Amino acid sequence: MLLALFAEAAWAANLRPHETTIVERLVSLIGIFVMLALCWALSEHRSKVKWRIVAWGVALQLVLASVVLSPTISGFFFTVVNGGVNQLLEFSGKGAEFVFQTVEPHQITVGFGEGEVQTFAGTISPPIKTFAFWILPTIVFFSALMSVAYHLGIMQLVVGAFAKVMARTMGTSGAETLSAAGNIFVGQTEAPLLIRPFVPGMTRSELMAVMTGGFATVAGGVMGAYVTFLKDIPNIAGHLVIASIISAPASLVIAKLLVPETAVSETAGEVRIDMPRTATNTIEAAANGASDGMKLAINVAAMLMAMVALVSMVDWMIGLLPVRFCGDAVMAGWSSTCADASPSAPMSLSILFSWLFWPIAFLMGVPVQECGIVAGLLGEKIVLTEFIAYIHLGDAINGPVAVISERGAVITSYALCGFANFASIGIQLGGIGGIAPQRMGDIASLGFKAMWAGALAACVTGAVVGLFL
């Protein structure tokens, strides 16, 4: 599965040719309002919804996307961001190469077929460029980098600026807005630390907003890994940066539609960052970040091993059903071959997901021919985490047969850019519940609702971007 990602020039990106139509952009526009209407229909208090939050939240997304993706700005923006992120990945590679470099000279045939015989000594050998030894180390580096940025006060200024813009336009409280802005750069358990003193006294609606923001965005520490998975999508680093930024207001919109504010917040109209420095100097901050990053990398590795194994088991059990698939055709029985002698496919979670999430993929403006593939990836994100979904998206892009277009791949990369999955519910219960154990009942009751809200917020972001691709 990962061969296409790590082999040296196994094949170039294989994107399906596709010209975006006015109809597809119109579907993206309609999809935004359909998903918002769905949230309003499921709201706990439909009459209490504050439409200022909804209007300004969507407006902020549209304005930011239109500016960044406009022909006059996009070239400069993506050049700068992609260049910067790729340079950071090179720095990360230097660290990984130093640790995992070869100590004995050896020769390896690089490439397919006859290939080219190369000698390696004192550098990393191609077989070591695996998920464990080449991708996970990026988490350690980016975590250390973010820790240094917070120690120097850089991130507080950036997060504070985003929070003030959203609070003044949308009218959300200072605490929930600051947490949403923090989620642009840090994870779902780190962002609430910015507002630690206010969490115990938060309203239920504010807790919903904090949790949804964590599910709707990703941490800067793992973004480097995602860029590596999808490196063959043009300007992917810039797209993922923008995805996390514009999903912040989307998370507030979805949260406030589902659980509107019915009480008075302690931080209404106030944005105040409470993030004390825990390191005495920059070196200690980098060391602390690296240590935290290693814990995260190990957790990611363990989670992926467990989830892939469990899914394989579930797929095996579902595959025992007397249903087989030959392309788009369905046949009863257990026959392993189709009428044309090609192998049939058994029932699997991916097939079930492709049915359940097909309408969402369509509403985002994904080309109809690709909705089944994208829907399967959306389902994998919920059940298996976005890591596995991104890996499979990378496989689809780099496969021998073109199955997805650049439009479909980019929209999907935005929709997958969030921590909305079942495993993250437990992470948030432990993280936010540890800050305010007296609110554990409210946090637990909001867990599943906030997860689905975060997933839908990322899909709204995908639809917004679909307007401009």
Residue range 121-179, pLDDT digits in tens: 777 777 777 767 777 788 788 778 878 888 888 877 877 888 888 888 998 888 888 88
Region 328-346: mean pLDDT is 79
Contact of 267 with 164, CB cutoff 8 Å: no
Q: How much is the pLDDT for 266?
A: 75
How far apart, in whole angstroms, are the C-alpha atoms of residue 282 and residue 152? 8
**Helix, strand or coil, per DSSP, at residue 273:** coil
At what angle are helices 220-229 and 71-100 packed, to 10 degrees?
A: 90
Contact of 216 with 458, CB cutoff 8 Å: yes
Domain range for 112: 3-466
Which stretch, 154-168, 282-296, 355-369, has highest mean pLDDT?
355-369
Residue with tokens 């071959």: 337
Share of the chain above pLDDT 70, in %: 94
Show the CA angle centred on residue 406, arms to residues 404 and 407, nearest 5°: 95
**Helix, strand or coil, per DSSP, at residue 340:** coil
Confidence of residue 28 (pLDDT cuts 50, 70, 90): very high
pTM, to two decimals: 0.80
Q: Which two tokens stand for residue 330?
A: 């369905």
Number of independent structural domains in the chain: 1
In the predicted structure, residue 11 carries a pLDDT above the cut 50: no
How far apart, in whole angstroms, are the C-alpha atoms of residue 112 and residue 294? 34
How far apart, in whole angstroms, are the C-alpha atoms of residue 405 and residue 402? 8
Contact of 137 with 120, CB cutoff 8 Å: no
Q: For 73-87, write each residue's pLDDT tens digit.
A: 777 777 887 778 778
Q: How much is the pLDDT for 48?
A: 93
Q: For 224-242, write each residue's pLDDT tens digit.
A: 778 888 888 888 888 888 8
12-21, 55-64, 211-220, 250-259: least confident range: 12-21
Confidence of residue 5 (pLDDT cuts 50, 70, 90): very low
